[in-house]
Amino acid sequence: MLGMSTPWESFVARAIHGEPDEPFLALLRKRLAGGYQVVRVSFERTSKGPAYIVLLSHLRQLSKMEVPHSPSFTRWSLANGIRMVSVEEEEERWALVAGERLQAIADDFGADYANLIFLERVRALGPPRTTRALAGEAATRTAPGREQTRALREMNAFLEGLAADLVGALGYSEEAAGILDGALERFAREMFQLDLAGLWHTSESEGPGLRPGGAPGPGAFRRAGATVPRGGRTGR
C-alpha cells in the first residue's frame, strides 16, 4: 500500500538515519534549519534528569533551549562535533554515555560478570583516577576461557569506542585521556558504590536497566563480588 513502509524499509531507514529524534531534538533541528546557530552547549542535572542547555543565536538575539539527555542527542552532538563548555561537564556527559554503552555488555554476559570484566580491564590499563576510585573493590579474577576472551574483546571495543568518539568526533587530543578517565571514575563510583544521587532509579519496582535519562539503574550493575559471576567460576 502506498504511503506505508515495510519492516525492511524501516530497518534500512534506521540503519541510515538512526532512531527517530526525540521531540526536543527534533525542535532543535527545526530551529537550526530556520537559521539559528549553536553558540555553546552545557550539561546540567535538572529536577527532571540530565539535560543540555543549548545557547542559540538568531538575528543577533540569544536564547536558551533545554534538551533532555538521550541517545539521539548524543548521536547528533557527535555528528556535529558539539563539545560541552568545560572538561567537568564533558566528563559527566561521557559517564552517562558509558552507562548506556556498557549496558549491552551487561545484557550479553550478565551484570555481575560485566562488573568483573570491567574491573579487570580498567586495572590492567591503569587510568589513574578510575583506578584510585576502585582501589577498595575485591580483586576477583574471571576464569580464562572463550567467554572471558569474548568479554574482554567486547570491553576493549567499549573503551576504544569512547576514546575514538572523543578524538574523532569531538576533536580532543591530549585532553581525551583525562576526560575518559574522569568519566570512567564518575561512572565506576556510581556503578560499584551504588551512589543513588541523580542517576539511578529511585524505585526498585522500576527494575533493572537504563532509566529514561540513559543512566544504569541499580539492577543493571551490582557491586563486584556480591554474587557469583556468570558460570559460577572465577580465577584467583
3-state DSSP call for residue 214? coil
Alpha helix (H) residue ranges in 34-110: 71-79, 87-109
Structural element, H or E, at residue 56: strand 49-58
Entry pTM: 0.75
Query: Is the residue at 18 inside a domain?
Result: no
Query: Is the residue at 15 inside a domain?
Result: no
Question: In which residue are the cell numbers 549496558 written?
Answer: 103
Domain count, the chain: 1
Domain that holds residue 27: 23-235
Q: How far apart are CA 181 and CA 128, in angstroms?
A: 7
Decide if pLDDT at 228 tops 80. no
Arithmetic mean of pLDDT, 124-152 = 90
What does residue 64 show for φ and ψ, rounded to 5 degrees? -115, 145
Q: What pLDDT, on the 0 to 100 scale, is given for residue 3?
A: 52
Q: What is the sign, positive or negative, of the torsion defined by CA atoms of 212, 169, 192, 156?
A: positive
* Three cell numbers, residue 27: 525542535
CB 67 within 8 A of CB 89: no
* Three cell numbers, residue 135: 582501589
Query: Is the residue at 16 inside a domain?
Result: no
Query: Is the residue at 10 inside a domain?
Result: no
Query: Is the residue at 2 inside a domain?
Result: no
Decide if pLDDT at 229 tops 50. no
Q: What pLDDT, on the 0 to 100 scale, is given for residue 72?
A: 92
Q: What pLDDT, on the 0 to 100 scale, is given for residue 10?
A: 75
Q: How far apart are CA 101 and CA 223, in angstroms?
A: 19
Neighbours of 127 (CB within 10 A): 21
The string of pLDDT tens digits covering residues 87-116 is: 999 999 999 999 999 999 999 999 999 989
Query: Is the residue at 224 inside a domain?
Result: yes
The string of pLDDT tens digits covering residues 169-227 is: 999 999 999 999 999 999 998 887 633 333 333 233 333 333 333 344 433 444 333 33
CB 75 within 8 A of CB 28: no
Query: Is the residue at 99 inside a domain?
Result: yes
Arithmetic mean of pLDDT, 138-150 = 88
41: left (phi over 0), alpha (psi -120 to 50) or beta: beta
Query: Is the residue at 176 inside a domain?
Result: yes
